[in-house]
Structure 1
Amino acid sequence: MAIGVVLLAAGGSSRLGRPKQLLLHEGRSLVRRAAESALAAECGPVVVVLGAHREAVTSELTGLPVRTVEHADWAAGPGGSLVAGVRALTQDATVDAVLVMLCDQLRVDSAHLRALVETWQRTGAAVVASTYEGTQGVPALFSRAVFPELEALGPEQGARRVIARDASRVAEVPLPGGGEDVDTAADLARLR
């Protein structure tokens, strides 16, 4: 079964004041680190959705076997970027599930992504979500059955809306510290 990845990297990082996708953590930019984790999890194809800072972010992906998709209306919200990425993947009829991830979740690695895939393969759940800090969120895997719900998201909506729609169809994989991401200067200081 083919599992495509949508890596959301289109945001403008307005709270941070500079492109978070390009911040270095352990010697690699956040966007490259996330893309490499997706590839190491043996998922594919990997689609990286770009918007703000498109050229600089693209240069961070040099040499990686990923496909980039530009979402011109990225500023309207994350939902549009997610829809653009899912549509890019669903053109391929062989994709049975989509793994949605962000580039700024520092606790996400290839082992966690593989755990999401393995849980889906074992349970057959329509949605497999990461759990952290009392919530369900991304990275999350969505089976083909829920692709229409992802594609119907409005610009201001995110994957959590689909995750929360029906708890009975969601399997969970714990992600300790999963809520730790980079949005502000304080987050950046903690990152270093």
Structure 2
Amino acid sequence: MTGLVILAAGQSSRLGQPKQNLLYKGKTLLQHALVAATGSGCQPIVLVLGAHTAAIEPGIEGHAIQVIHNADWPEGMASSIRAGIIQLQQNPEVDSALMMLCDQPFANAQLLTSLLNKRQETGKGIIACTYNGTAGVPVLFDRQYFTELLSLKGHEGAKKLLARYADDTTLVDFAHGGVDIDTMEDYEGLVG
């Protein structure tokens, strides 16, 4: 069983407001991520919140997800990855974790399902998306990598594992993976 972690604890400091609540095609960015996650067939779905929790939580009602609050969110993304993995490890049936961000509006259920399918086809332990000449999220990790994910610190994401275990990594094309929302210019480019 593949669990899914939505990383949505950041402060959105460059944007100046919670990016999770920005509207795109009638839904917030976080709601788009939740729709993709629930449509993927992954279970359980863990949403990691931190900064701006009170402003974000009202928009997630009605979704069958586990919400956890990462009190260590100021440390950076690594703390949210750890929080999500710790939550998934509580379920012994979870043999892999799919991680996604809340600010990639084109990460849909079809893309997430393609990562799951690629794992079945290849037997690889890491399935990452590729875009703009790099590999990144959404990304799926086999349970054998959970210990290393738990050792991440600060602002580092899991990208270094992709390089370290390149022989156990395969890629899925994500044409619009480079579209993420960090600044108001990014958002205006998305909705304009």
- In the superposition, the TM-score normalised over structure 1's length comes to 0.97
Amino acid at match of 1:77: G
CA RMSD of aligned residues (A): 0.8
In 1, Cα distance between equivalents of 2:161 and 2:56: 28
Partner letter of residue 140 of structure 1? V
Aligned to 1:66: 65
Contact 2:47 2:66 in 1 (8 A): yes
* Cα distance in 2 for residues equivalent to 1:15 and 1:62: 27
Q: Equivalent residue for 1:162?
A: 161
What is the number of equivalent residue pairs in this alignment?
Answer: 191
Q: Which amino acid aligns with 1:54?
A: T
Give the structure 2 partner of residue 38 of structure 1.
Answer: 37
Write the letter of the residue equivalent to 2:88.
L
**Which residue of the partner structure matches residue 10 of structure 1?**
9
2:102 maps to a residue whose letter is C
2:97 partner letter: V
Distance in 1 (alpha carbons) for counterparts of 2:157 and 2:163: 11
> What is the TM-score when the length of structure 2 is the normalising length?
0.97
How much does 1:134 deviate? 0.6
Within 5 Å, give how 1:22-171 maps onto structure 2: 22-171=21-170
How far the C-alpha of 1:122 sits from its partner, in A, is 1.3
Q: Separation in 1 of the partners of 2:54 and 2:163? A: 34
TM superposition shift of 1:156: 2.0
Within 1, Cα distance between the matches of 2:176 and 2:32?
17
Q: Which runs of 5+ in 1 are unaligned?
A: none
- Local SS of the residue matching 1:189: helix
One-letter identity of the residue aligned with 1:16: L
Distance in structure 1 (CA, Å) of the matches to 2:61 and 2:146: 29
* In structure 1, distance between residues paired with 2:185 and 2:155: 25
Percent identity reads 42
Maintained 8 Å contact 2:32/2:105: no
Counterpart CA distance in 2 for 1:159 and 1:101 is 11
- Which residue identity does 1:143 align to in structure 2? D
- Tell me how far 1:35 sits from its aligned partner: 1.1
User: Separation in 2 of the partners of 1:86 and 1:25?
Assistant: 29
Runs of 4+ aligned structure 1 residues displaced above 6 Å come to none
Distance 2:43 2:25 in 1: 24
- Taking the aligned partners of 1:3 and 1:45, their CA distance within structure 2 comes to 8
Question: Contact between 2:20 and 2:28, CA under 8 Å: does it hold in 1?
Answer: yes
In structure 2, C-alpha distance between the alignment counterparts of 1:53 and 1:154, rounded to whole Å:
22
